[in-house]
Homo-oligomer: A and B are copies of this chain.
Protein backbone atom coordinates (compact mmCIF):
# COMPACT_ATOMS: atom_id res chain seq x y z
CA UNK A 1 0.00 0.00 0.00
CA UNK A 2 1.30 3.46 -0.95
CA UNK A 3 0.54 6.13 1.63
CA UNK A 4 0.62 9.88 0.99
CA UNK A 5 1.14 11.63 4.32
CA UNK A 6 0.30 15.32 4.26
CA UNK A 7 1.30 17.86 6.92
CA UNK A 8 2.07 21.57 7.09
CA UNK A 9 5.65 22.36 6.07
CA UNK A 10 6.36 26.08 6.19
CA UNK A 11 3.63 26.84 8.72
CA UNK A 12 3.84 23.75 10.87
CA UNK A 13 7.46 23.17 11.78
CA UNK A 14 6.39 22.91 15.44
CA UNK A 15 4.65 19.66 14.54
CA UNK A 16 7.53 18.04 12.65
CA UNK A 17 8.34 15.61 15.47
CA UNK A 18 4.71 14.53 15.62
CA UNK A 19 4.63 14.06 11.84
CA UNK A 20 7.82 11.97 12.06
CA UNK A 21 6.22 9.73 14.68
CA UNK A 22 3.04 9.31 12.62
CA UNK A 23 5.11 8.49 9.52
CA UNK A 24 7.10 5.91 11.50
CA UNK A 25 3.81 4.32 12.55
CA UNK A 26 2.43 4.41 9.00
CA UNK A 27 5.46 2.56 7.65
CA UNK A 28 4.16 -0.68 9.15
CA UNK A 29 1.13 -0.43 6.86
CA UNK A 30 2.94 0.38 3.63
CA UNK A 31 5.32 2.74 1.85
CA UNK A 32 5.12 6.38 2.90
CA UNK A 33 5.82 8.45 -0.22
CA UNK A 34 6.30 11.71 1.70
CA UNK A 35 8.77 10.76 4.41
CA UNK A 36 10.45 14.20 4.15
CA UNK A 37 7.42 15.81 5.88
CA UNK A 38 8.82 14.46 9.15
CA UNK A 39 12.20 16.14 8.61
CA UNK A 40 13.14 19.56 9.98
CA UNK A 41 15.23 20.24 6.87
CA UNK A 42 13.40 21.79 3.94
CA UNK A 43 14.84 20.76 0.57
CA UNK A 44 15.72 23.97 -1.24
CA UNK A 45 17.21 22.41 -4.36
CA UNK A 46 13.85 21.91 -6.06
CA UNK A 47 11.78 24.63 -7.67
CA UNK A 48 8.23 25.24 -6.49
CA UNK A 49 6.90 23.70 -9.68
CA UNK A 50 9.04 20.59 -9.24
CA UNK A 51 7.74 20.22 -5.65
CA UNK A 52 4.15 20.75 -6.79
CA UNK A 53 4.34 18.33 -9.70
CA UNK A 54 6.10 15.62 -7.66
CA UNK A 55 3.56 15.90 -4.84
CA UNK A 56 0.53 15.78 -7.16
CA UNK A 57 2.06 12.75 -8.89
CA UNK A 58 2.52 11.08 -5.50
CA UNK A 59 -1.11 11.80 -4.55
CA UNK A 60 -2.15 10.16 -7.84
CA UNK A 61 0.05 7.14 -7.14
CA UNK A 62 -1.11 6.68 -3.56
CA UNK A 63 -3.70 4.22 -2.29
CA UNK A 64 -4.62 6.38 0.69
CA UNK A 65 -4.02 9.96 1.84
CA UNK A 66 -3.46 10.64 5.54
CA UNK A 67 -3.51 14.35 6.43
CA UNK A 68 -2.67 15.92 9.77
CA UNK A 69 -4.90 19.01 9.68
CA UNK A 70 -4.28 20.72 13.02
CA UNK A 71 -2.08 23.50 11.60
CA UNK A 72 -3.64 25.67 8.87
CA UNK A 73 -1.87 24.99 5.57
CA UNK A 74 -2.60 25.91 1.97
CA UNK A 75 -0.59 22.94 0.70
CA UNK A 76 -2.42 20.38 2.85
CA UNK A 77 -5.82 21.81 1.92
CA UNK A 78 -4.84 21.84 -1.74
CA UNK A 79 -3.70 18.21 -1.65
CA UNK A 80 -6.95 17.13 0.02
CA UNK A 81 -8.95 18.99 -2.65
CA UNK A 82 -7.02 17.31 -5.46
CA UNK A 83 -7.22 13.88 -3.76
CA UNK A 84 -11.02 14.12 -3.53
CA UNK A 85 -11.29 14.58 -7.27
CA UNK A 86 -8.97 11.58 -7.71
CA UNK A 87 -11.41 9.55 -5.54
CA UNK A 88 -8.69 8.64 -3.04
CA UNK A 89 -9.63 7.46 0.44
CA UNK A 90 -8.67 10.35 2.75
CA UNK A 91 -8.21 10.22 6.50
CA UNK A 92 -7.77 13.51 8.36
CA UNK A 93 -6.48 13.72 11.92
CA UNK A 94 -6.58 16.85 14.08
CA UNK A 95 -6.14 18.09 17.61
CA UNK A 96 -8.19 20.89 19.16
CA UNK A 97 -5.77 23.53 20.49
CA UNK A 98 -6.91 26.46 22.67
CA UNK A 99 -10.48 25.70 21.69
CA UNK A 100 -9.63 26.00 17.98
CA UNK A 101 -10.63 23.07 15.84
CA UNK A 102 -9.77 22.41 12.21
CA UNK A 103 -11.40 24.05 9.18
CA UNK A 104 -15.15 23.77 8.55
CA UNK A 105 -14.32 22.92 4.94
CA UNK A 106 -12.45 19.83 6.12
CA UNK A 107 -14.82 18.74 8.89
CA UNK A 108 -17.82 19.38 6.68
CA UNK A 109 -16.59 17.36 3.70
CA UNK A 110 -18.51 14.09 3.52
CA UNK A 111 -16.00 12.63 1.05
CA UNK A 112 -13.29 12.24 3.68
CA UNK A 113 -13.06 10.80 7.17
CA UNK A 114 -12.08 13.24 9.88
CA UNK A 115 -11.01 12.21 13.38
CA UNK A 116 -10.10 14.29 16.42
CA UNK A 117 -7.34 12.90 18.66
CA UNK A 118 -5.70 14.05 21.87
CA UNK A 119 -2.34 12.28 21.84
CA UNK A 120 -0.16 10.12 19.64
CA UNK A 121 -1.48 6.83 21.10
CA UNK A 122 -5.03 7.81 20.14
CA UNK A 123 -3.82 8.72 16.65
CA UNK A 124 -2.18 5.31 16.29
CA UNK A 125 -5.41 3.60 17.35
CA UNK A 126 -7.39 5.54 14.73
CA UNK A 127 -4.86 4.65 12.02
CA UNK A 128 -4.96 0.98 13.04
CA UNK A 129 -8.76 0.82 12.84
CA UNK A 130 -8.87 2.71 9.55
CA UNK A 131 -5.96 1.09 7.76
CA UNK A 132 -6.44 -2.56 8.67
CA UNK A 133 -9.40 -2.71 6.29
CA UNK A 134 -7.58 -1.02 3.40
Question: Does A126 touch B at the CB level, under 8 Å?
Answer: no
Which residue from chain B places its CB closest to the CB of A75 in the assembled complex? Answer: B105
B108 touches A47 (CB 8 A): yes
Chain A, residues 47-70, CB within 8 Å of chain B (1/0): the string is: 111111101000000000000010
Q: How many residues of A contact B (CB 8 A)?
A: 38
User: In chain A between 60 and 106, which residues have their CB closer than 8 angstroms to a CB of chain B?
Assistant: 69, 71-85, 100, 102-106
Q: Give 27 A-B contacts (CB < 8 Å), ordered by A residue.
A: A10-B100, A10-B103, A48-B107, A48-B108, A49-B108, A49-B109, A49-B110, A51-B104, A51-B105, A52-B105, A52-B108, A52-B109, A55-B105, A72-B72, A72-B74, A74-B80, A74-B105, A75-B104, A77-B77, A77-B78, A77-B79, A77-B81, A78-B78, A78-B103, A79-B81, A80-B81, A81-B82
